[in-house]
Structure 1
Amino acid sequence: MKNITDSNRAEYYKISSFIFLYFFTWSASIGLLAIWLGQKTNLSGSVIGTVFAVNGIFSVLLKPVYGYILDKIGMKKYLLYFVVFMSALMAPFFIYVYQPLLLSNTMLGIIVGAIYLSFAWYAGVAACESYTDRFSRLNGMEFGQVRMWGSLGWAVASSFSGILFNLSPAYNFILGSVTSVVMLMVLLSLKVNVHSSHASEVIAKDKIVLTDVYQLLKNRKFWAFCLYVAGVCWMMFIAEQQFSRYFVTFFDDIHKGNTIFGYLGTVQSGIEFIMYMFVPLFVNYIGAKKGLLLVGLIVSTRLIISGLCDSHLLISVIKPMYGVEICLLLVSVFKYIVEHFDKRVNATMYLLGYQAMLYLGNVVVSSPAGYMYDRIGFEKTYIIMGITALTFTLISSVTLSSCQRRPGANKHPQTEENSAAGVRQQPVEH
């Protein structure tokens, strides 16, 4: 595989195994959260929307903190250890805390659940992906070469998670906790070479300070990127939150719908796995901006068709297209950040400008979306979301910046426009 050499092969296998296990755990359990909330705690569409909205509030608050910590500690793994520890608590939390609270005191359960899910998953996955991107570049690898194993992990778990769920959701959560222990052992064995030949391109000598975050918030490119996330990514991810509920309505037997949804999750993740092999080269060729715009076109098309379709066969074909979107989006986002923002704030930019902004959509749109699902139906809501995504894609074709330099250089001229945080580019200390 490109850029995988004898010197970094062992660490490639380790970081890939870590990502595989993390997404395997997520798919086996949290991936079925909307179905679990609807079928096991009997929450309505509006209340489920509120659950995701509150999840979004805590995620928005935590993700910038995670990003700042990652930029502050560099390549140290302390934050990842914490995320894995929280993941390992999944089974006891869902079985003995979350479900009883949702049934007895719904609002308290929603808040407690949001805190846990943010620590372990909604902010945790962003931290893991950001660290993986940095680790990949440190070892001269493409992020997609590693992230594709996360898609495979999701696919493997999805192939049986629906069946396991029909037996008992507790089995899904127990599996997640056990897998997290294995994940911890892999993380402990991962070695980080801060003296690699790529270190000066990835690790900044001067660590991030709060002033850097303030300067980032003053950068026009930051807000242009956030506008894209709000218009396109909000529609993409919020439509996906309760898509499982819409999907099962195409089947007379809800259990059959659950099972087939799990199978399609496997197909979707398989598509992601394959796409990650080629998308980095494709985005390098067309540029990160065009990659982001292409995502917008695909998202708007998929949502509009989802709202118009009336066949379980067509909706089953449409569902896996999400795999193409997420792969192209993630690769384009990371490359756009490397092209336009200082390396000292890469993790902060990803978790604040992309991930926190993404989950702000949960706060702003999840509850209204749930209300619209209940009042006007999934079909009309998805059409509205698709048109919204298309509109903001057209706007972003003007507001997003094109790359004016060699991708991957991660250096910027000393101008206010291109400086994310003062741009103090210096060689790394050894």
Structure 2
Amino acid sequence: MKLVNAANKSSYYKISLFIFLYFFTWSASIGLLAIWLGQKTALSGATIGTVFAVNGVFAVMMKPIYGYIMDKIGMSKSLLYFVVGMSALMAPFFIYVYQPLLLSHTPLGIIVGAIYLSFAWYAGVAATESYADRFSRMNQLEFGQIRMWGSLGWATAMSFSGVLFNLSPAYNFILGSVASLIMLAVLLTLKVEPQTVASKAVVADEKIVFSDVINLMRDRKFWAFCLYVAGVVWMMFIAEQQFSRYFVSFFSDVHQGNAVFGYLSTVQSAMEFLMMMGIPFLVNAVGAKNGLLLAGVVIGGRLIASGLTSDALIISIIKPLYGVEMSLLLISVFKYLAEHFDKRVNATMYLLGYQAMLYVGSILIASPVGYLYERIGFEHTYLMMGAIALLFTLISAFTLSACVRKRQPGKENTEVRHA
């Protein structure tokens, strides 16, 4: 992968380091959240499902707001500064606020935690990814060239987070806060200035007014895309929330399970890192719609395979496939949005149509799925969710908009297209 020119290499390296550190801190806190909730706060599977459901409520409220702000401020780093500031509070929040509240006043703890997690990560990650996408388009780069460093950051943290967790979860949180301070220093040095006529056009054309959001909500293609998210991505996302609990159940020693899960999460993120380099070329070749459909097939297949196995080795092989799904899905989503929606609402569409819609799934089905885990077991629940993902992938083959024309490298669509 070749950067455009020597002039923007410094900015590319800095934003890549920023993305690396952000996902590093996110991994340190969220990567083992379900295990932390179950082992350190003694919450049941259904209650943990409720935690994620409430998290989803606040994420759904915050993501469209973040998206609209991103489209209004363009390449300004103001929102990123806020997100980084919240991330830096990770250690004091988890140690002195979140855990004590969950132990003594569980409902209040769930709400306070949902607000914080949405500010820092559930909505914050979407804002950072949207910013990286806009940066890549401004400099004629592939989004995957920047986002892949986030996968490496996640992998790096997960390579030892399971071991640290066994010593004390506080070590993970302190590490995340320290990394956030380094991330702030990187962001302060990042200078983003349009350097070409093409990049200036990208920034100038992305001014948004509220009527653009209203028009987006009236677009049939918007709701067709949301249907795909609801039927396919919901299954992937909800299944992953408590997958760590299912995974450690394959081991007689829970501490061994925690450590192995951390190691395999590293492998998963490393695979995602590698896929981020090659998958953009695959999606460019087959088209964004076909990329989304392929992602749906992989998601459904992985969930069904997870439900069918009873062997620790097989589930360990299946676990890293999430990295393939994630890279294929993210690249296809951003390319699909660029092909079929006005780029002025790019961040709004990503945070509303994809990210916020994704968390609606937590609101609606995280608790029922948590109940099914307790009632019929993880295995049967995953079989059901895999079948649903494959069904909606088939439906989406007819409802998603086909490619209008092949995009030229370095070119962006400026008009709103109607399939």
TM-score tier, shorter chain, comes to: over 0.9
Instruction: Output the CA distance in 1 between the equivalents of 2:168 and 2:206.
Output: 51
Instruction: Output the CA distance in 2 between the equivalents of 1:247 and 1:351.
Output: 30
Structure 2 match to 1:229: 229
Structure 2 match to 1:358: 358
Instruction: Output the CA distance in 2 between the equivalents of 1:137 and 1:238.
Output: 31
With normalisation by structure 2, the TM-score equals 0.97
Overall identity of the aligned pairs, in %: 70
TM-superposed deviation, 1:199: 2.0
Instruction: Output the CA distance in 1 between the equivalents of 2:377 and 2:197.
Output: 55
State the SS of the aligned residue for 2:31: helix
Structure 2 match to 1:338: 338
State the SS of the aligned residue for 1:207: coil
TM-superposed deviation, 1:341: 0.6
Whether the aligned pair in 1 keeps the contact of 2:268 and 2:322 (CA below 8 Å) is: yes
Structure 1 position 145 matched with structure 2 position 148 = no
Instruction: Output the CA distance in 2 between the equivalents of 1:238 and 1:206.
Output: 33
Runs of 4+ in structure 1 displaced over 6 angstroms? none
Structure 1 position 102 matched with structure 2 position 102 = yes
Structure 2 match to 1:31: 31
Instruction: Output the CA distance in 1 between the equivalents of 2:403 and 2:261.
Output: 39
Instruction: Output the CA distance in 2 between the equivalents of 1:51 and 1:107.
Output: 9
Instruction: Output the CA distance in 2 between the equivalents of 1:2 and 1:281.
Output: 14
AA in 1 matched with 2:328:
L
Give deviations 1:65-114, integer Å, cap 9, x for gaps: 00000000010000000000000000000001000000001000000000
**1:70-109 equivalence runs, <5 A:** 70-109=70-109
**1:263-342 equivalence runs, <5 A:** 263-342=263-342
TM-superposed deviation, 1:4: 4.4
Instruction: Output the CA distance in 2 between the equivalents of 1:196 and 1:350.
Output: 26
Structure 2 match to 1:412: 415
TM-superposed deviation, 1:194: 2.6
Instruction: Output the CA distance in 2 between the equivalents of 1:266 and 1:206.
Output: 37
TM-superposed deviation, 1:209: 1.6
With normalisation by structure 1, the TM-score equals 0.95
TM-superposed deviation, 1:406: 3.6
Whether the aligned pair in 1 keeps the contact of 2:231 and 2:393 (CA below 8 Å) is: yes
**CA-based RMSD:** 1.1
Whether the aligned pair in 1 keeps the contact of 2:15 and 2:190 (CA below 8 Å) is: yes
TM-superposed deviation, 1:30: 1.5
Structure 2 match to 1:157: 157
Structure 1 match to 2:208: 208
TM-superposed deviation, 1:206: 6.4
TM-superposed deviation, 1:195: 4.2
State the SS of the aligned residue for 1:191: coil
Structure 1 position 50 matched with structure 2 position 57 = no
TM-superposed deviation, 1:363: 0.3
Whether the aligned pair in 1 keeps the contact of 2:74 and 2:206 (CA below 8 Å) is: no
Whether the aligned pair in 1 keeps the contact of 2:206 and 2:345 (CA below 8 Å) is: no
Instruction: Output the CA distance in 2 between the equivalents of 1:61 and 1:206.
Output: 23
TM-superposed deviation, 1:3: 3.4
Instruction: Output the CA distance in 2 between the equivalents of 1:96 and 1:409.
Output: 47
State the SS of the aligned residue for 1:141: coil
